[in-house]
Chain A
Amino acid sequence: MNEATSLPSRREFIKTTGRVAAASALAGLAVPYVHAAGNETLQVALIGCGGRGTGAALDAMTVKNGPVKLVAMADVFPDRLNGSYDALSKEPRANVDVPQERKFIGFDAYQHAMDCLKPGDIAILTTPLAFRWVHFTYAIQKGLHVFMEKPITADGPTSRRMLKLAEQAAAKNLKAAVGLMSRHSRALQELAQRLHDGQIGDIILLRGYRMHGPGGSCFSVKWPGGSPTELLWQIARFHSFIWASGGLYNDFYIHHVDHLCMMKNAWPVKAQALGGRHYRKTRDGNLHVDQNFDSYSVEYTFADGTKMYMDGRCIVGCNDIYSSYAHGSKGTAIVSASGDCGLPSSIHSGLSPRRNNAIWTSKVSPEESNPYANEWNDLVDAIRNDKPYDEVTRGVQASVVSSMGRMAAHTGQEISYEDMLNHPDEYAPDADKFTMDSPPPLRSAADGTYPIPMPGIVIHSEYAMK
């Protein structure tokens, strides 16, 4: 499992707090081999320059335990990379040094960008998740710490692969963070502690809601043809395609799923779901060809019988709800008051949370109120002070739980955690071999439509596989 022997044999010595570690000398041993000194500059490569990556890069550069400098950027779309570069360059707090020769475009751009780093630097992996295992593999090979955006996986084979990679990263003492920022919300951390201490008794019911109009690129009309290629077009509209993103369910709902499981301190053992696509056309009557449903109601069951409901909807004009709750035998908690992990969290007596029955309300100091900043401070702290830091295992588990809910809705079947983790279907098995000319992993029919989920009809796979 330890791939340290395949490390590049650069005899690069890096000063660490209180000692000197030689990367090659320690190769093969599960001990710290690279980490930056307290005030040494950590270099960052941004791989995937969309909005989320750009935000993560800025969060990286504005950590309180810096300096952290952005030195390389990679994407498959020049306009996204340039837009990200321009936005970051205008940001006064940014620490950017990305000359033209360290901007890389293409499916191998990630390698070139990571090649600009030295072991112990940080790779930010914020492409669609289909490429996560590809990029993580190379980062481990290069001895890089990693921050990767959620979700991490969309299917069984890549989930199993990522769990193995997480072990390899840990064996090389690489720090790997996952953008499930709820885990770094100081309010949710305190709430989780209180719930684990039994302040609302036994948790019986958890409820997550994300219901609003269509978000991101979740609904797509047919590929118009021409340029960009169909592969690049699918990547640009990654929320529409399960292989790229896990669909809107994984991408939009994983935060609620993850932080409610954090409250329960367990992962559910199975899911059953109602869901469907009520509207398959634009208001102008054009057919949508993406693989998402517009309505999901997933019921997760924990080993002790506790239920967790994840209600998701992407329809304009309906009752919008975006919050999460936990009900126990002795009270109720508001987990996220609004959004993915919105403050404040609170604990209430009785079932119906109101101001006048609040027992505790979270109070977070202003400098720690942003979980996106916290997750970077925590990662860089772990790097600089050599603390164990593997969020990938937990991130894969959250991704599998998301996928099992999505799979339950899309097939109409009960799906267990093991069913999902061990499912044989891999949606983008050649993600490490893509070139600009590759066909997409999801092929369209002659009329431009794609295989879509058909609950009750296509039940052993999530959609008709080739």
Chain B
Amino acid sequence: MNEATRLPPRGQFIKTRGRLAAASALAGLALPSVHAAGNETLQVALIGCGGRGTGAALDAMKVKSGPVKLVTMADVFADRLNGSYDALSKEPRANMDVPPERRFIGFDACQHAMDCLKPGDIALFATPPAFRWVHFTYAIRKGLHVFMEKPLTTDGPTSRRMLRLADEASAKNLKVGVGLMCRHSRAIQQLAQRLQDGQIGDIILMRAYRMAGPLAACFTEKWPGGSPSELLWQISRFHSFIWASGGLFSDFYIHHIDRLCWMKNAWPVKAQALGCRHYRTTPQGLPLVDQNFDSYAVEYTFADGAKLYMDGRCVTGCNDIYFTCAHGSKGMAVVTATGDDGPCSIHTGQNPRHDNALWTSNVSPDETNAYQNEWNDLVDAIRNDKPYNEVPRGVQASVVSSMGRMAAHTGQEISYEDMLNHPDEYAPDADKFTMDSPPPLRSAADGAYPIPMPGIITHHEYAMP
């Protein structure tokens, strides 16, 4: 599991707090290989320059514990990279030095960008999750700390692979943050402690809602042909394709699922679900060819019998709800009143009101941004050499998301093990893509793609080639 022997044999000495560590000298040993001193500049490579990556890069540069500088950027789309570069350049708090020769375009751009870093620097992965294992593999080889955006995986094989890679990263003492930022919400951290202390008794029911109109690239008409290629077009509309994103279910709902499992301090053992695609055409009547449902009602079951309901909908004009809560034998808790962060509160009875609130979260103003907290925490772990690997938990949250999606898409009960051990890999060649590659999901002659067919296609999520 330890890939340290594959470290590049660069005799690069890096000052650490109180000692000198030679990366190559320690190669092969499960010891701290590289970590930056308290005030040494940490260099960052941004791989995947969409909105989320751009935001994460800025959060990285704004950490409180010493200088972090963006030095290289990579994407498959030149316009996304340039747009991100321009936006960050205008940001007064940004600390960046990314000359044109350190901006890379293409499927191998990630390697070139990581090659610009030295061991102990940080690679920031914000591409669609299909490429997470590809990029993580290379970052571990290069001895880089990593921040990676959620979800981490969409299928069984890549989940198992990422768990192995997580072990390798830990063995090399690399610090890895995962963009499940709720875990860094100070309000939700306070609540989790209180729930685990039993303040609402045994947790019986948890409810999560993300119901709104269609978002981002979740619904898609046929590929128009021409340029960009169908592969690049699928990547640019990654929410539409399970191989790229895990679909809207994994991408949109993983935060809710993750934080409620955290409240329960467990992962569910199985899921059953109702779901459907009620509207399959645009308002103008054009067919939508993406692989998503527009309605998901997933019931997760924990080992003790507790239930977690994840209600998701992407239909305009319906009852919009964005909320999470937990009901226990002695009361209930609002986990997120709106959005993905607090305020959190604990109430007597099962109906949360102001007049039955026992506790409401209180967070100091400089810690109210969970996106900033997660970077402060990661860089603190790097600079002070604290154990830090969020990947196993991130894979688990991704598997739980995928098992709910799979239950809805197949109409079957799916256990955690079913999902983790499922043989289907949706983008097995993600490490070999070139600009000319065909997409992993192939269209029929009429431009339609294989879509989930609950009750008809039950052993796979959709008709596999």
Given contacts A274-B296, A304-B350, contact A311 B304 (CB under 8 A): no
Give residues of chain A (264-307) contacting chain B, Cβ–Cβ below 8 Å. 272, 274-278, 293-297, 299, 303-307
A295 smallest CB distance to B (angstroms): 5
Given contacts A205-B327, A351-B202, A351-B204, contact A275 B318 (CB under 8 A): no
Interface size on B, residues (CB 8 A): 50
In the assembly, what is the distance between CA of A299 and CA of B298, in Å?
A: 12
Interface segment, A85-93, A113-121, A451-459?
Answer: A451-459
Interface size on A, residues (CB 8 A): 50
Given contacts A319-B413, A412-B317, contact A304 B349 (CB under 8 A): yes
Name which residue of chain B comes closest to A459, CB basis: B317
A220 smallest CB distance to B (angstroms): 18
Q: Does residue A443 face the partner (Cβ distance < 8 Å to B)? A: no
> Cβ of B201: which chain A residues have Cβ within 8 Å of it?
329
Q: Chain A at the B interface: mostly helix, strand, loop or mixed?
A: loop
Q: Does residue B272 face the partner (Cβ distance < 8 Å to A)? A: yes
Interface segment, B35-43, B359-367, B390-398, B454-462?
Answer: B454-462
> Cβ of A419: which chain B residues have Cβ within 8 Å of it?
none
For A317, give its contact among B294, B296, B318, B455 (CB under 8 Å): B455
In the assembly, what is the distance between CA of A274 and CA of B309, in Å?
A: 12
Q: Does residue A313 face the partner (Cβ distance < 8 Å to B)? A: yes
Q: Does residue B306 face the partner (Cβ distance < 8 Å to A)? A: yes
In the assembly, what is the distance between CA of A309 and CA of B299, in Å?
A: 10
The contact string, 1 if C-beta is below 8 Å from chain A, for chain B 336-369, is 0000000000000111100000000000000000
Q: Does residue B277 face the partner (Cβ distance < 8 Å to A)? A: yes
Q: Chain B at the A interface: mostly helix, strand, loop or mixed?
A: loop
User: Do the beta carbons of B297 and A272 come within 8 Å of each other?
Assistant: no
For A304, give its contact among B295, B309, B311, B351 (CB under 8 Å): B351
User: Do the beta carbons of B204 and A295 come within 8 Å of each other?
Assistant: no
> Cβ of A330: which chain B residues have Cβ within 8 Å of it?
329
Q: Does residue B183 face the partner (Cβ distance < 8 Å to A)? A: no
Q: Does residue B278 face the partner (Cβ distance < 8 Å to A)? A: yes
User: Do the beta carbons of B294 and A457 come within 8 Å of each other?
Assistant: no
A204, A274, A317, A319: which has the most chain B beta carbons within 10 Å?
Answer: A274
The contact string, 1 if C-beta is below 8 Å from chain A, for chain B 300-311, is 000111110101
A293, A304, A350, A412: which has the most chain B beta carbons within 10 Å?
Answer: A412
User: Do the beta carbons of A412 and B319 come within 8 Å of each other?
Assistant: yes
Q: Does residue A217 face the partner (Cβ distance < 8 Å to B)? A: no
The contact string, 1 if C-beta is below 8 Å from chain A, for chain B 83-110, is 0000000000000000000000000000
The contact string, 1 if C-beta is below 8 Å from chain A, for chain B 271-296, is 01011111000000000000001111
Q: Does residue B411 face the partner (Cβ distance < 8 Å to A)? A: yes
For A319, give its contact among B303, B313, B412 (CB under 8 Å): B412
7 contacts between A and B (CB under 8 A): A293-B278, A295-B274, A319-B407, A352-B303, A411-B318, A456-B316, A457-B317
Q: Interface residues, chain A, CB within 8 Å of chain B?
A: 201-202, 204-205, 207, 211, 272, 274-278, 293-297, 299, 303-307, 309, 311-313, 315-319, 321, 327, 329-330, 332, 350-353, 408, 411-414, 455-457, 459
